[in-house]
Structure 1
Amino acid sequence: MLAGAGILLGVAAAPAQAAEVSYATECIPPAISGLPPVEGTSKVEVTAPAEAKVGDEVTITWKFVQGASKNPDILDLEKDTVKPTGTLKAAGAQTADIAMEGPRTNPPIPKNSDMKLSDMTGKLKLTTAGEVTLTPDTYNINVSKPLSTDTKCSPKETVKSAATIKVAAGGASSGGGTGGTPTVTPTVPTGSPSPTASASGSGGSDTGGSTGGGGQTDFTGKEVSVAYACKTPIGDKNATSPVQINAKKNGGSFDLTVQFKKSVMDSPADIPADSVKPSMEVALGGADKGTVHVEGPTNAKPIKSGDPIEIPDLTGTYKPGANGESTLAPGVLTVQALGTTTTCTPEKAEVSLTLDTAEQASGASGGGSSGGGTTTSGGTSSSGGLAETGAESHSALKALGLVAGTVVLLGGAIFTFLPHRRTR
């Protein structure tokens, strides 16, 4: 009886088959990463029933089996942040594009460690008797944090079928299969370019806008083009931006407003609210010395991909520490974004505003604190050795697409790699 049952079971259950195919693949990183297309080889294992009947809905799995995949030494990926999807081509007796999807389940993936991607599965309703071949096609890897980004991968050669289902005419019964995953196998360059300045401005002169005096209370600085050397989590970058410093007299002090005069760039990805905060140390010169801290609020609303990234006005209070003409120039700019910090230092002092100042108790003059701002020792001398970047008039501080620190890193982090493959 047991032997008979075994025979019956063997007839009723269509055996699953698992077949592997390899093919050249090109993967396009997120635009925000600045990375070029990456070429590598994908090895995919497809599992499906060897036999089934017309009317069956069979489950098919897709799994990449290429070994030695790594998360680059750039960014740790959190638990359950990586999700693969793809398309499997059915051809032969029946043609169809089969949507494949894996759950967003992965362990934490440290930098410079193997990528861990979930299995992808899909279903196909069989409609025609004959042989149906299954061939891997395009696939996508999505990383959800700190921002949602996609890497899109497609074959660069004709791909051989990975499995074949023999479909018999007859009644409907359910077919089965197992789950599978995709893994990308290209190599990515170790350095990820971040946004850079589109052009450089001409720079400012040694004298700025209105000079305070008499009964005047509002002072408008001139717009100066500031060349910055930026230290980002992914390396040193150059950027240039037009900046203007204005002041309003408040007793013996001045309320400062620092403005970036143009939208620095369009957002290359969705940016959550309260995730980007800029600040600056305005450099003092002339009669006075030191710096004045000014800062702006975080972005109150999410910024959608493609929308302009506006740098808010930076504000603070300048309490003079000396009598005479004191100059104000854009100084060190700091932007904190999604847990990263980018610091940009001017190549040289570009004076935007000159004020007649009267020394105040605990004023600047090289140290101390004043009102809402903080002063530190230092002058207005050149601080850097960085050439300007370009010559167009509409220059922009693209380093402030700052998500540079985090988002650009994602461009490399969502790949799996083959260690000795070269990029295109």
Structure 2
Amino acid sequence: MLTGAAVLLGVTAGQAQAAEVAYATKCIPPAGIGLPDVNGTTKVEITAPATAKVGDTVDIVWKFTQAASKNPDIIDLPADSVQPSGTLKAAGAQTADIAMVGTRTNPAIPKGADMVLSDMKGTLKLTAVGQVALTPDAYVVNALSTDTKCAPTEPVQPAATITVTAAGGGSGSGSPSGSSSPSGSSSPSGSTSPSTSPSSSPSPSSSATGDGQTDFTGKVVDIPYTCDTPLGIKKATSPIQINAKKNSGSYDLTVQFKKSVMDSPIAIPAGKVKPTMQITLGGADTGSVKVEGPLNSAAIPQGQPIEIPNLVGTYKPGATGESTLSPGVLTIEAAGTTTTCTPDKTAVSLTLNTAEQASGASGGSGSSSGGSTSTSGGLAETGSGDHGTLKALGLVAGTAILLGGAVFTFMPRKRAGRAA
């Protein structure tokens, strides 16, 4: 009896309808890992009001009842690490692309298990009398900072239809859910965005001038890296600055990454990440100097910036003359795995007038020169926000998905053969 009453009341208010549609889907994983595209079947249930009036803004829910395939046998997906987004097509009395966005909410998904994607929501403002058909279209699954893009490979049938009548009396939302939903103008992209808040930059501070200078500030240089990660080769660019403080005949070095790395896709426990770098010497001196940072001392909450801390070390000159310091190989150790990033090209961040020290660096054939210490850079300081970080870096405790290690959320159980 209660169910019947609810149905009768729902008809006059624009009852919610839910209908499922299945369609062939092609999913393209992120490039650079060597896994093939995947063809599977997506099943979607669309919930929307059956009737509404012109001028109403209606809430729509997209529910995945079947993903195109299983979680691949690559890695366990942690809880709350997957977010879907997509586009729902409206056609008939009016046409529109409706942005649908889900939450980053999922249980832990083991390797080989069924994918679990949150419901996506969106809104549509009705503008014309008639039938408006709602049809699922392309969607993106963002998992651990990587995107898998999926699109239909066959015509898709409408999953729901709204009958729109002329405006009259009060207008209201035929919402199938009591919760608010994203605006139809929202971006369908589910990827997390890199943080753009810069780390504090040191200002040149000298306790003396001319020949007595002790503090030296390097130039910010953009360094493009090729990174060998546990899950493939990745490219990343980072602006780096090398600073020095004279300490007797040696120099205490500090290397700074000028921007935050990116927002963490999941929570990272303390003590899981340690970076090191080899600074390349040039000019009068040759060889390299190792600098390193501490383990992350605090847990990094999901959605908060991941930052590479200052890297420190000591440079003992092995030659007299103008010696240059440039960013070199960067190594990141996390949870038992290592990612090695080699510069595609480097640039001088700092030039020092050095005096040879016993047991110093390798030494070189550069001629000695006087004059004051200066800074120089082989690359222009662009200040570009787009190059403000190792943008692809996604550190995940326990699994160490480094520099965009791909998690392909729509993969078959059997992986393509890999070269040894």
Q: TM-score, normalised by structure 2?
A: 0.50
Q: TM-score, normalised by structure 1?
A: 0.49
Structure with more contact order per residue of length (Cα contacts < 8 Å, sep ≥ 6): 1
**Pair member with larger Rg:** 1
